[in-house]
Amino acid sequence: MSAQSRLVRTALAGLVLCGLAGRATAGADLVAFPTDFAEGVRYATVERGSIREEIFTSRKVLEAARTGRPLPSGTVITLVDYRDGKLFRYVVMEKRTGWGADYPPEKRNGEWEFQAFNADGSVNSRETLDRCFGCHRGQALQDFVFTLDRMRSAR
């Protein structure tokens, strides 16, 4: 192999590696911990046995839902998960224009990304985020959101 073709091969291998690494982490890393979620509105509370979920989003998002408009780019929905009365974790979904384009159609949830955070706000890197995509996909007709009706009727 000539030095030149070896160089080309190395460069190509590097591109492939970067591409894969980018795809593996770019998604969920886009979602930052929503430090200001409590300044929004708690529009739904779900209780199931020892689990209590409080779900928050901004007034702007609720206004869009109420008037039947698509949830805007920049929408953040924060679900605060309590177990036996104690803060257990946060799960967050966020939507921005252009997000999700790298996902295969069978995985993609529109422009949404998902992330799970521990009670201290750090990323829960043990969470399998494919589960989020898999389950929320079933809500495709409601912009991938289970509680869209609750948003529409929130005040």
Contact positions toward ligand HEC, by CB under 6 A?
Answer: 46, 53, 55, 77, 79, 91-93, 114-116, 127, 129, 131-132, 135-136, 145-147
CB closer to ligand HEC, 9 vs 131: 131
CB closer to ligand HEC, 18 vs 30: 30
Residue 49: its H or E element:
none
CB closer to ligand HEC, 101 vs 114: 114
Nearest to 109 by CA among 145, 74, 152: 145
Shortest Cβ 133–ligand HEC spacing (Å): 8
Burial of 148 (0-12, 13-18, 19+ CB in 10 A): middle
Shortest Cβ 27–ligand HEC spacing (Å): 11
